[in-house]
Structures are given as structure tokens and as C-alpha cells.
């Protein structure tokens, strides 16, 4: 299943039909799908779309797991009081997932390039399912409360590793799969299956605790917080079934560096500055977004006061999170219309303006009688963030690098973003505290900081990012090939070996799949197979 099966030489009966001399002389790599043929692989609309969906939609779990903990933390504070609020657990259970996510991103970024996009996704999904379930059932030895907090923290770290795999393996494979979709819609589909999924995760992560508190009431919060976490296993379990049917993306088959030593020095020379810019923008975006998302319940509780019922606080939290949706949905079309670079810059600039306005008007907006106005303005602030960097930063990271190192490039950028989120969740309370406890400034300062970071992001995006078109992936691969050739690197080594490539057809799956790492290899492909049928030779 995961590619560990030992490959045996094909028997004479299994061998492919004899090939012309020209085919026998060709390198044993899958490079047979021309760039202009990715839209013409013989697949129907559903066969083109569902791989992108199955690869990218796992990011729903990122939004859910990271947002639900804000409400869960509020419930734990009410249940355990000072035992929770005065312990390190209050910070750790919220922030530790980001640390695990960084570890997962870096690990699976490497495996997605050097092992398999599909198998990396399967492993990360299983990790996410197992440790999300364990987090919901956290228990301390002998019924110890502190032991339970420690277990919850540990399980959320490990669940974060699974979430981390969704970024380099899932988003990168999603971006590559969109190459088979109609030009003019590719950015839209990528965004719908990645950032829109994260944002729906944020919304559902806010709504589920609200619904459970309504059902369980405040007298049974122990059940409510555990069920809130436990429901996080449902989406990845559904996706796991779909992902078993996935194949490696066509671009990965053609341009993979799986079987060669990656020339990292050349990669850094070519992509170093671009990676720095993408990473910096992602850091600043996540610093603000995840911090505000996690602490939105706290912000609302401060407006209403400690006596407000949880249903009121959680209900308004859900309303605020719903504002993510129009921003990310409109942003998916906006990105195709003006391009990711300008969509990102204009969206984040507008967000900065709203952030400064909100900070200035906070004393008025923070009055309980104006909570609806607060929710709307705060929601617009979040929505613009999704229209700009939320929708486009992952798109930029996945399409501004060559396929052979795309997983690691994306992983570094995404990990930097999660470090920003990790830092933000720790720094956010101190920024509030700097304004003075219980004062308007304590809420104004975070918006001033966020607005300044948004302005800087807009400048970086506008002046330091390249333009990204509908066919940027194939053009980037061609450009990187040219660069490698100019440096004396043998580009004929790019691509998967024919014997290890997988069926990519729609309709028939192929009559027989013979694979070999040695002398002979045969693949009798179905209707849309694009695998070169040739004898394997020794790797050049």
C-alpha cells in the first residue's frame, strides 16, 4: 500500500510488447506528458476535480482543530478554574499544535518530494485521526487533573504532526492536479479545496462547541469539550477512503527528483530570495489570523463580562468566524481575475485599513450594546484577510517553485507561517497586557500591530513576488530545467522511473500492471494511461 513492496523482475510473459529502437534508447523516466497536454489526458470533469479535492480538503482539519481549542480552553477554564488558568496548560494546549504542525510540515515536505505525494498524505491522515481521537479521551494517571492537561498537550502536538503533512503533501499535490483543469479556473479550484476548507474548519470549529453547550448545558461541559475535540476525526476518516484511490500527479511523474540527489545549493541560489519573501508574508499572516481566531472567544467574553453565558459568547464567535467564508469564496474568483500577486497585495492592504479603523473605534465598538457592530467590523477585518493572503499565500508557495523541490519549498514557507501562529498565540496576551488590564488599549494594541504587519505584507507582495499565471507550474519547471542545464546538471534524470510510476487513467484502470526496477517493465494501460511503455535501463 505504501510502496514498500519488493519489486521482482518481470517474467517474460509479463514483459511489455517490443518497442522501437527509439523508445529503447530513451531514458527510463516518465516524461511523456507534454506541458500542453495536461488538459487532454482523457479524463472527464469529475476525474480531474476529485484528486484536487482529495488532496487539498484535509486542510479542513487544520481549521477545525486549531479553532475548536479556543472554545475548549474556555470550557476547561470554567470546569477546572485556577487549576487550569494558573497552569502552563492554558497556553500549551492552544499553541502546541502549531509546534507539531511545523515538525510535520518539514518531515512530510521531504517525504512528499523524495518518497511519494500520495503515501505521505496517507500517513499524515492516519496520524491525525489517531491522535485527535486520543486528545478527546485525554486522561491523567489516577485521575490527575494536571496529568490530563499534560496528556491533552502531548496528543495535540502529535495531531499537529498529522496536520503538518496536509500542507506540503496535500496542497502541493492539489496544485499539481489543477494543471489538468481548464485554464482560467485553476487558482479558483486550488483555493476552494485548500483555504476555503481551512475557513470552513474555523466556522465548524466555532459552531460545534456552541451547539454542544446548548445541548449539554453548562452543567455538562466535560462532555461538551471532549465531543468537540472528538468530532475532529470524522473529516479525515472520510478523506482517508478517497485518498486510497489517489494516483501521483502528472507533473510529479514528469519532474520528480525522487531518484536523484537534489542539488540543494543550486536550488537555494535560484529560489532563496523568493522563498524568504513568501515565508515572511506567511509568518505575518498567521501571526495575526490564528491569534485572533483562537482568542476571539476571549475578546467577546471581555465585552460581555464574566457573567455572560457560554452560549452567548460561543454564538457570537460563530457569527464572527462566518465572515471568513465570503472573503475566501470571493477571493477564489478574484485570484483568477487579477492574479494571486495583486489579489494578495490589495486584500492585505484593505485589511490593514480596517484594522487601524477598528483599533481607533474600539472604545465605542466594545460596548455590549454595539456587539453586532463589533462583530461586523471584526468580521470584515477577517474576511479581507482571507480574500488577500489567506487565499493566495498557499497558492503562491505551491506555484512559484519547480516540482522536484516543491514539497520542501512549500513546507519551509508553511512552517514559517505556523511559527508565526505559534509566536502569535504566545505574544498576543502580552500585547494585550501592554495596554493595561481591562482597558480599551489592551484590545487596540493587537489591531495596531496586525495593521502594521498587513502593510508590510502588501509591500512585499507587490514588489517582491513574481506574477503567477494559469500555467505557472509548467513554465516554472521549464525555467528551472533550463537553469539546471546551464549549471551542468543532467536534467534527463528528472521524473519517476517507468517501473515505479502509477496508473493515471480514467475509465479502465489498465489490464495489467507489471513493474520492475530492473531489466523489463510493462504497463498495459487503460484508456487514458500516459505511462511510457518501455524496457527499464540503468539510471543514467
- The structural domains of the chain, ordered by start, are 45-477 (1.20.1250.20)
Q: What is the pLDDT of residues 106-146, one digit of tens each?
A: 999 999 999 999 999 999 999 999 999 999 999 988 889 99
Q: How many CA atoms lie within 13 A of 220 on its CB side?
A: 11
Q: Which three cell numbers stand for residue 148?
A: 490530563
Q: How many CA atoms lie within 13 A of 50 on its CB side?
A: 15
- 3-class state of residue 29 by DSSP: strand
Residue 234: what pLDDT? Answer: 94
Q: What is the pTM of this model?
A: 0.80
Rg (CA), the chain: 25
Angle, alpha carbons 422-428-430 (nearest 5°):
120
Residue 500: what pLDDT? Answer: 55
Residue 37: what pLDDT? Answer: 56
Transcribe 64-133 into DSSP letters: HHHHHHHHHHHHHHHHHTHHHHTSTHHHHHHHHHHHHHHHHHHHHHHHHHHT-HHHHHHHHHHHHHHHHH
Residues in a beta bridge with 524: 512
Transcribe 278-345 into DSSP letters: HHHHHHHHHHHHHHHHHHHHHHHHHHH-TTS-HHHHHHHHHHHHHTHHHHHHHHHHHHHHH-HHHHHH
- 3-class state of residue 19 by DSSP: coil
Alpha-carbon gap, residue 217 to 517, rounded angstroms = 61
Contact 287, 420 (CB under 8 A): yes
CA torsion through residues 178, 179, 180, 186, sign: positive
In the block, residue with C-alpha cell 519551509? 412
Q: Which of 96, 72, 77, 74 is CA-nearest to residue 229?
A: 72
Contact 145, 82 (CB under 8 A): no
Q: Which three cell numbers stand for residue 157?
A: 502536538
Residue 305: what pLDDT? Answer: 66
Residue 296: what pLDDT? Answer: 65
- What is the per-residue burial (b if ≥16 Cβ within 10 Å, else e) of 377-393? bbbbbbbbbbbbbbbbb
Q: What is the pLDDT of residues 277-335, one digit of tens each?
A: 999 999 999 888 766 665 566 566 666 666 778 888 888 888 888 989 999 999 999 99
Alpha-carbon gap, residue 259 to 284, rounded angstroms = 36
Q: Residue 446: enclosing H or E segment and its boundaries? A: helix 441-464
Q: Which of 152, 474, 419, 462 is CA-nearest to residue 282?
A: 419
Q: What is the 3 state secondary structure string of 353-401?
A: HHHHHHHHHHHHHCCHHHHHHHHHHHHHHHHHHHHHHHHHHHHHHHHCC
Within 10 angstroms of residue 310's Cβ, the number of other Cβ atoms is 23
Q: How far is CA 524 from the centre of its chain?
A: 36
Alpha-carbon gap, residue 275 to 268, rounded angstroms = 9
Q: How many CA atoms lie within 13 A of 52 on its CB side?
A: 23
Alpha-carbon gap, residue 64 to 97, rounded angstroms = 12
Residues in a beta bridge with 497: 29
- What is the per-residue burial (b if ≥16 Cβ within 10 Å, else e) of 457-477? bbebbeeebeebebbbbbebb
Alpha-carbon gap, residue 526 to 33, rounded angstroms = 16
Contact 494, 257 (CB under 8 A): yes
Alpha-carbon gap, residue 454 to 448, rounded angstroms = 10
Q: Is 436 left (phi over 0), alpha (psi -120 to 50) or beta?
A: left
Contact 64, 201 (CB under 8 A): yes
Q: Which three cell numbers stand for residue 268?
A: 537555494
517-521 LR contacts (CB < 8 Å, sep 24+) = 517/7, 518/7, 518/9, 519/9, 519/10, 520/9, 520/10, 520/14, 520/15, 520/16, 521/10, 521/16, 521/28
Transcribe 487-536 into DSSP letters: TT--GGG-S-BGGG-----SSS--SEEE--SSS--EEE--TT--------
Given a cut of 50, the residues of the chain with pLDDT beneath it are 1-35, 501-540
Within 10 angstroms of residue 259's Cβ, the number of other Cβ atoms is 15
Amino acid at each position: 500500500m505504501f510502496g514498500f513492496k519488493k519489486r521482482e523482475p518481470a517474467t517474460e510473459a509479463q514483459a511489455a510488447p517490443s518497442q522501437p529502437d527509439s523508445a529503447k534508447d530513451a531514458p527510463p523516466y516518465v516524461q511523456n506528458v507534454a506541458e500542453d497536454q495536461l488538459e487532454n489526458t482523457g479524463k472527464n470533469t469529475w476525474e480531474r476535480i476529485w484528486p484536487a479535492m482529495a488532496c487539498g480538503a484535509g486542510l479542513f482539519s487544520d481549521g477545525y482543530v486549531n479553532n475548536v481549542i479556543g472554545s475548549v480552553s474556555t470550557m476547561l477554564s470554567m470546569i477546572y478554574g485556577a487549576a487550569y488558568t494558573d497552569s502552563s496548560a492554558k497556553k500549551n494546549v492552544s499553541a502546541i499544535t502549531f509546534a507539531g504542525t511545523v515538525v510535520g510540515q518539514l518531515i512530510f515536505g521531504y517525504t512528499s518530494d523524495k518518497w511519494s505525494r500520495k503515501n505521505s498524505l496517507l500517513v499524515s491522515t492516519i496520524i491525525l485521526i489517531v491522535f485527535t481521537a486520543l486528545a478527546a479521551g485525554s486522561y491523567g494517571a489516577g485521575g490527575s487533573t494536571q496529568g490530563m492537561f499534560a496528556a491533552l498537550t502531548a496528543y495535540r502536538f502529535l495531531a499537529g504532526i498529522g496536520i503538518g503533512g496536509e500542507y506540503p503533501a496535500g496542497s502541493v499535490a492539489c496544485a499539481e492536479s489543477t494543471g489538468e483543469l481548464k485554464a482560467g479556473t485553476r487558482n479558483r479550484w486550488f483555493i476552494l479545496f485548500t483555504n476555503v476548507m481551512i475557513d470552513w474548519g474555523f466556522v465548524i470549529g466555532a459552531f460545534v462547541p456552541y451547539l454542544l453547550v446548548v445541548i449539554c448545558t453548562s452543567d455538562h461541559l466535560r462532555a461538551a469539550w471532549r465531543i468537540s475535540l472528538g468530532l475532529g476525526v470524522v473529516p479525515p476518516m472520510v478523506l482517508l477512503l478517497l485518498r486510497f484511490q489517489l494516483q501521483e500527479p502528472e507533473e510529479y511523474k514528469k519532474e520528480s527528483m525522487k531518484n536523484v540527489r537534489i542539488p540543494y545549493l543550486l536550488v537555494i541560489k535560484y529560489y532563496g530570495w523568493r522563498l524568504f519573501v513568501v515565508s515572511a508574508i506567511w509568518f505575518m499572516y498567521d501571526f495575526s489570523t490564528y491569534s485572533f481566531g483562537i482568542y476571539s472567544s476571549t475578546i467577546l467574553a471581555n465585552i460581555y463580562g464574566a457573567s455572560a453565558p457560554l452560549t452567548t459568547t460561543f454564538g457570537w464567535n460563530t457569527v464572527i468566524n462566518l465572515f471568513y467564508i465570503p472573503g475566501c469564496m470571493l477571493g477564489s474568483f478574484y485570484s483568477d481575475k487579477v492574479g494571486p500577486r495583486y489579489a494578495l497585495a490589495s486584500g492585505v492592504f484593505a485589511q490593514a485599513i480596517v484594522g487601524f479603523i477598528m483599533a481607533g473605534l474600539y472604545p465605542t465598538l466594545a460596548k455590549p450594546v454595539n456587539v453586532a457592530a463589533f462583530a461586523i467590523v471584526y468580521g470584515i477585518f477577517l474576511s479581507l484577510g482571507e480574500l488577500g493572503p489567506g487565499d493566495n499565500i498557499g497558492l503562491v508557495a505551491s506555484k512559484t517553485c519547480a516540482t522536484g523541490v516543491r514539497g520542501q519549498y512549500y513546507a519551509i514557507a508553511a512552517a514559517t507561517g505556523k511559527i508565526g501562529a505559534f509566536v502569535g498565540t504566545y505574544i498576543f496576551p502580552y500585547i494585550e497586557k501592554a495596554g493595561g488590564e481591562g482597558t480599551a488599549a489592551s484590545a487596540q494594541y493587537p489591531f495596531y500591530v496586525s495593521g502594521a504587519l498587513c502593510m508590510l505584507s502588501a509591500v512585499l507582495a507587490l514588489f517582491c513576488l513574481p506574477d503567477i499565471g494559469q500555467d505557472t507550474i509548467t513554465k516554472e519547471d521549464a525555467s528551472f530545467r533550463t537553469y539546471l542545464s546551464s549549471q551542468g546538471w543532467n536534467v534527463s534524470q528528472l521524473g519517476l522511473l517507468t517501473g515505479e510510476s502509477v496508473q493515471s487513467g480514467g475509465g479502465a484502470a489498465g489490464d495489467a500492471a507489471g513493474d520492475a526496477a530492473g531489466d523489463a517493465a510493462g504497463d498495459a494501460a487503460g484508456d487514458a494511461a500516459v505511462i511510457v511503455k518501455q524496457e527499464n535501463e540503468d539510471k543514467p
